[in-house]
Amino acid sequence: MSVAVRARVVLLTSVLVLGVAGCGGAAVKPKAGTSGSVTGSPSPVQSVAMARPGVYKPSGATPDILVQSPTSLSAAVVQGAARTKGVKVSEQFSMATFYREEEAITYAAVNPATFRQFTPGPTATLNDVWDRLADGEIALRPDLRQQLAEADDYVTLGNDDNAQRAHIGAYAPLVDRSRIGALLNQRWAARLHMPEGNALLISTGKLDPAPVLKSLRKSFGKQVSVTLLAPNVDPSAALAAVLTGGSIARAVGSFTYTANKDGTVNPEARWVREYIRSEVVPILGNVTCNKAMLPQLRAALGRIQRSGLASKIHRGEYGGCYVPRFIARDPSRGLSFHTFGTAIDLNVPGNQRGTVGLIDRRVVRIMQECGFNWGGTWNYTDPMHFELARLTAC
């Protein structure tokens, strides 16, 4: 099938859909004008394209344990994991997070030829999915289609103004019981400034993964995060937060953290000491934020004050900046952007989610001019919320 007429692959459970559904998993060519079809896709992204994986040979691997670090895993960790009793298969890849409208999207840059063994059967066996990944396109979980897909069938991989974009090649179930919502091929890792090879998926086959988990944690201590792939967060486990997407991600740093039962989290002390600061800014007084954000916040609030708009920001209704927690205190939704200390909530009572908000639009305009995105423009509005989107002089 030529590139000019390829339609996006859509996997819904065990049925492959190319514009219209086939039966028994067979592909059906899309017809012009068919609902849900795409008339074509771009040529492979040459700068990130790699060899297509070829014929798939099932290995029986299961995604049981995830190992992750804020930085690239050392050879000693990778080799030590592979030698651990009970480990049948291990796969190294890169994993990080970007945000879309205060929703955390965990994604991975992988080797299509080997990573596919950890995905559900219908996904693993469909060569089209993995060919497109090798060509440089992105695969998304189907539930993220409405949230992430843009009008031209691209996804913006970050909240920075200069974030990279990838063309959607497939919608498919990905790694069971994990938060991974999108896959790219491994050549994207450098382009997206991901810590290369900072994650491992481990399969214990038919063996109970719990003893293997215990052995890995004993071997690696607090060097890395070692967790079972399960729906609930283990409060005793160290987890990794790796933000990517552009200059903002590089400026705010990455860290490990532990979770609390109330939905708050505890970022590692080293990162907090290096990146989190409490300083006095105009109008609000003392705030605690990421050091990368404070200069622009101070400048923006100073401009608001000089413009005679200080009374439009209500100091007693300030909702915080560095607030380490999960989104809505729900571990399944990932970390709030506030955990990185690069978002701020203003005039909370009159600017609740889903409303147009009462915040003065002149304040909004100055914040945007000073490098902040405003939640009032989101599909599900959050007009109290401003987050750092670019590093700029203000």
Place of tokens 């879309």: 100
Are 225 and 320 within one domain?
no
H/E stretch holding 362: helix 361-369
Residue 324 lies in a domain: yes
Note the pLDDT of residue 104: 87
Are 220 and 333 within one domain?
no
Are 216 and 289 within one domain?
no
Are 106 and 190 within one domain?
yes
Number of structural domains the chain divides into: 2
Whether pLDDT at 34 is above 50: no
Residue 118 lies in a domain: yes
Are 124 and 187 within one domain?
yes
Nearest in space to 335 (alpha carbons), one of 206, 199, 179: 179
Confidence of residue 14 (pLDDT cuts 50, 70, 90): very low
Residue 6: other Cβ atoms inside 10 A: 20
Q: CA distances (Å), 382 to each of 143, 260, 337, 371, in order?
A: 21, 25, 13, 17
Average pLDDT, the chain: 84
Residue 18 lies in a domain: no
Are 173 and 313 within one domain?
no
Q: For the segment 109-156, what is each residue's pLDDT rounded down to a tens digit?
A: 999 999 999 998 889 989 999 999 999 999 999 999 988 999 899 999
Q: Quick check: 235 and 260 in contact, CB under 8 A?
A: yes
Are 75 and 156 within one domain?
yes
Whether pLDDT at 250 is above 60: yes
Residue 347 lies in a domain: yes
Residue 11 lies in a domain: no
What span, in angstroms and rounded, lies between the C-alpha atoms of 31 and 18? 9
> What is the mean pLDDT of the segment spanning 258-286?
91
Whether pLDDT at 235 is above 90: no
Residue 369 lies in a domain: yes
Q: Residue 169: give the domain boundaries.
A: 44-52+61-239
Whether pLDDT at 2 is above 90: no
Are 316 and 367 within one domain?
yes
Are 106 and 195 within one domain?
yes
Residue 333 lies in a domain: yes
